[in-house]
Amino acid sequence: MADVALSRLFFEIQRPEAAAAYRADPEGVRARYGLSPKALAALAADDVAAIAPVVNAYLLRYYFQVRGLTDAEFIARLNAPPLTEVLDG
């Protein structure tokens, strides 16, 4: 099942000004979306594997580009065991 709040965050940071705001204050931006504690923990850990099951793959990849992960880091984290509890929407 999709995590709608997390997906909305990932969708909205596609706009350059939103991405810049997120880079400057990720915790402040996250607070506006009503994210679950598990989602907040996964975001704080940049836990690709925990987040992947509940968001669109394209949005997931774009989000981690905004976070500054290289393609190699993204793929490695996607294929690694989750660092936090896997999200279930």
Q: State the pTM of this model.
A: 0.89
In this prediction, residue 17 carries a pLDDT of 97
What pLDDT, in 10s, does the model give residues 12-59?
999 999 999 999 999 999 999 999 999 999 999 999 999 999 999 999
Q: What's the Cα-to-Cα distance from 78 to each of 52, 60, 71, rounded to whole Å?
A: 7, 10, 10
Report which of 10, 17, 27, 20 is spatially closest to residue 64, judged by C-alpha positions: 10
In three-state secondary structure terms, 34 is coil
